[in-house]
Amino acid sequence: MGSTNIKATCNKNGNATGYLVQPKNENIDYWGKVYTGKTNTRTITGLKGGTTYLIDFQEIRKVGSYTYYGPWTSVSVYIPLATPTLTAKKINNTQVKLSWNAVPGAEDYEISYYDSVNYTSTTERVKATTDTIDVIPGRTYYFRIRSKNWSGNVSSSYTAYKSVSMPAIKITYKIRKIGYGKYQITWNKVPRCLLYNLHVSFNASHSDESTVTYGSGDKLGITVYGHGEIYLKMEMVFAGIDTGIWGGDTNSYLHIYLP
């Protein structure tokens, strides 16, 4: 998960010939590397966010062949959890891919999002640094994320919202006459669609509407006698989405005169 670096500095003593610097966590169950040198400033690496550390300093003084060590002094430093950098991209008609950088000390990440129709936020916990969200076409989605350390009960701040607008799915129909009173209706296949529900009506009031469910195919044969026009409306079913998706910008019927 990476690490965080800090710069530690103690007061400089003119009589000191060197310094020892060592980090440890507040539970004293972690002891970090001991840094030894002539300078009173050290960069300490390998620290995790969401953790409080004690940074211990000790002066060293060499006189002839003897080395004298001063008392240890400590300073407490809290390393906050960093906020991830979020990227959100549309990958197809019904999915958005989220990705972000790993945060030192984070156990997982909390994603929160809502859309332009349903303003109730949905929350997900993810351990990886990517996630794919199933979304509904024709809506704009707003995503944000924060890093979490549940054992330490700490969180980073949320990112600003990233918005992704999902275009409505356009359905294009073709009607071909294949015999007396017989027609074949075809339409463009939509990626990831599991099921097509084609709503068919022959009058403007749609009082005679019937629904034909047609797997994942893209053509349907119908028999029509005594009608010169047809009304079509397509409903699609996708995995991971608990509502039917209508083709086009609205739920209105497409009015077509039969050839």
- Helix (H), strand (E), coil (C) string for the chain: CCCEEEEEECCCCCCCCEEEEEEEECCCCCECCCEEECCCEEEEEEECCCEEEEEEEEEEEEECCEEEECCCEEEEEEECCCCCCEEEEEEECCEEEEEECCCCCCCEEEEEEEECCCCCCEEEEECCCEEEEECCCCCEEEEEEEEEECCCCEECCCCCCEEEECCCCCCCEEEEEEECCEEEEEECCCCCEEEEEEEEECCCCCCCCEEEECCCCCEEEEECCCCCEEEEEEEEEECCCCCCEECCCCCCCEEEECC
| Higher-confidence position of 3 and 32 | 32
Ranges of each domain in the chain:
4-79, 86-165, 173-257
Instruction: Answer whether 0.85 is exceeded by the pTM.
Output: no
* pLDDT, tens only, 56-91: 888 888 888 888 888 888 888 888 889 999 999 999
163 — pLDDT class (breaks 50, 70, 90):
very high
- On whether the 173-257 domain is CATH 3.30.420.40, my answer is no
CATH fold of 86-165 reads: Immunoglobulin-like (2.60.40)
- Average pLDDT, whole number, for the chain? 84
Domain 4-79 and domain 86-165, same fold? Reply is: yes
Question: What pLDDT is recorded for position 240?
Answer: 76
Question: Please, what CATH class does the domain formed by 4-79 belong to?
Answer: mainly beta
The more confidently predicted of residues 207 and 239 is 207
Q: What is the pLDDT of residues 147-159, one digit of tens each?
A: 998 876 789 999 9
Does 178 score more than 50 pLDDT? Answer: yes
Given a cut of 90, is residue 237 above it in pLDDT?
A: no
Query: Which position has the higher pLDDT, 103 or 249?
Result: 103
In this predicted model, which residue has the larger pLDDT, 194 or 159? 159
